[in-house]
Amino acid sequence: MIFVQAQVSNAVSRGLLSYFLTSFLEEKLSRQLSRTSNVVTRRLDRLSVERAFNCCTLNDYRLLLNGLSFEDGKAAWIYGSAGLQAAPGAALYYSKNDLLDWSRQVIVEDDGFLIVDRAGDQAIALKAEKLPGDEQTGFYIYLRPVYSMPLLVIISRIKFWSEVVLMLVLAVLMLLCLRWIFRPVRAIQRDLSAIELNELDSAFLDTRSQPSEFLPLVQEFNHMVERLRLSSSRQKQFASTISHEFRTPLTVISGFIQSVLNRDAMLSSVSVESLEVANRESLRINRMLSDLLDLIRADSNQLQILRQPFDSLASVHEVLKLAGKAHPARKITLESELLAPLLVIGDPDRLIQCLSNLIDNAVKYSDSDSEVVMRIHATAETVIFSVVDHGQGIPDDQQQLIFDRFKRAQGVKLRRGESSSGLGLSIVKMFVTGMGGEVSVQSTVGEGSCFSVVLNRSDASG
């Protein structure tokens, strides 16, 4: 493209220059030559017949040029059998050698017209005319420097701007061509960016609408999607089977530990403590497995979240009961003046799971002697459940990231013996949005965090 561009602009500038040099300059020079050569011819007419025929001597030449004067480097001279005779002024601008040299060159030209290149962008145009008489006479030669002509400046400007305009036009054409060529690539890119990892079933690209050049690429992509889909469904199947298989023995283990703890009063305090730890851990693993199962179900659109009216206060009391069992050493309190049933829209089990996750986090990321508070606040339209801790707090730039799967806040540390999967808050967000609500966090590093779940009231007054 650049090569074509250069060729076109070169051709245009060459065309302009050759028009200027050949047609225009020669015509202009001939006109000026005929004006001055008329003077010379008139003087030649005044010579005697005999001398005119035997022309010419040095004196004749001087006579012929007498009174002719030129400016701005223009010059005239006669070159012939009597040698070189320049009009006054020519010697000021040009050396005798130059004049002789140019004379020899121009008189052999068919049309007596010659352009001589000088250093830089200077040039000299010469026009020669044979003086009347036989071979013994000579040539009358007229010269004008081309560089002094304003037209040359105009032409070089035209040349420059024509090149600029051409380059712009070609650049625009090139861009349009590129846009047109890459249209299918952009369409494929749009399709690719719309693909969701959990919707691989609809990730295949339509091969019918693709240009033949891209067909192998699109087909290869579709094969890759097929392989990914297979591998992802096998992974999900595997994770789901494992989770199911683990949950049953874990529930049994936890049940036995609980019954031993309830019945045997002979247990030493160390044994009780160990059994309680074992029970807590098996409950925790159980919860992680059920989180995992929920995520797998959500990915395959099999997760059911209810949106029906239920008493949220009953769920909150259930959450506090479970939290008391899971964290017997921690002070977890409820701050709420609301006593009557508080009907919200959603899924009671999912709300219990969400608030339990938030309380688990509050306990996990704060000191063992600090209090965790559950607050309930009702507005005309919504009920807000807040879990407040006075723990480490979360840096501002991490507060939105932590709701994504497997994301942990940088700068937040785990206590010894605690573990973290990075799944809890993503499950909370999935459940709360599934119930038509919202979850958010307000946190200050070093002071603590407040996670709030907002659900719509089913008895909204507005």
Footprint of ligand ADP on this chain (CB under 6 A)? 361-362, 365, 389, 391-392, 394, 402, 408-409, 412, 420-426, 449
Q: How far is the CB of 350 from ligand ADP (least distance, A)?
A: 16
Q: How far is the CB of 408 from ligand ADP (least distance, A)?
A: 3
Place of tokens 């808050």: 425
Q: CB of 191 within 8 A of CB of 207?
A: no
Across 91-129, b (16+ Cβ under 10 Å) vs e yields: eebbeeeebeebbeebbeeeebbbebeeeeeebbbbbbb
Q: How far is the CB of 430 from ligand ADP (least distance, A)?
A: 11
125/362 with CB nearer ligand ADP: 362
Q: How far is the CB of 386 from ligand ADP (least distance, A)?
A: 12
21/320 with CB nearer ligand ADP: 320
Where on the phi/psi map is residue 207: left (φ > 0), alpha (ψ -120 to 50), or beta? alpha
52/285 with CB nearer ligand ADP: 285
Across 291-300, b (16+ Cβ under 10 Å) vs e yields: bbbbbbebbe
* Residue 25 exposed, middle or buried by CB count within 10 Å (0-12, 13-18, 19+): buried
Q: How far is the CB of 284 from ligand ADP (least distance, A)?
A: 10
Q: CB of 42 within 8 A of CB of 35?
A: no
- 3-state secondary structure (DSSP) of residue 63: helix
Q: How far is the CB of 373 from ligand ADP (least distance, A)?
A: 12
C-alpha span between 278 and 28 (Å, rounded)? 111
Q: How far is the CB of 425 from ligand ADP (least distance, A)?
A: 3
112/391 with CB nearer ligand ADP: 391
Tokens of 382: 């919504």
111/367 with CB nearer ligand ADP: 367
Estimate the crossing angle of helix 269-299 against helix 312-326, to 10 degrees: 130
Strands 123-130 and 138-145: antiparallel
Q: How far is the CB of 325 from ligand ADP (least distance, A)?
A: 19
Q: Identify the CA nearest to 291 among candidates 240, 337, 248, 333.
A: 240
15/411 with CB nearer ligand ADP: 411
Q: What is the DSSP string of 84-138?
A: EEEPTTHHHHS-HHHHHHHHHHHHTSTTSEEEEE-STT-EEEEEEEEPSSSTTSE
Tokens of 459: 């008895």
Q: How far is the CB of 407 from ligand ADP (least distance, A)?
A: 6
Tokens of 131: 């003086």
What are the helix and strand counts (H, E) for the chain?
13, 12
347/389 with CB nearer ligand ADP: 389
20/365 with CB nearer ligand ADP: 365
373/425 with CB nearer ligand ADP: 425
Q: How far is the CB of 421 from ligand ADP (least distance, A)?
A: 4
Q: How far is the CB of 262 from ligand ADP (least distance, A)?
A: 30
| CA 58, chain centre distance (Å) | 80
Tokens of 279: 């029970």
- 3-state secondary structure (DSSP) of residue 412: coil
C-alpha span between 449 and 388 (Å, rounded)? 6
Tokens of 373: 């508070």
78/363 with CB nearer ligand ADP: 363
257/388 with CB nearer ligand ADP: 388
219/400 with CB nearer ligand ADP: 400
Q: How far is the CB of 406 from ligand ADP (least distance, A)?
A: 8
Q: Please provide residue 231's backbone torsions phi and psi, each rounded to the nearest 5 degrees.
A: -65, -40
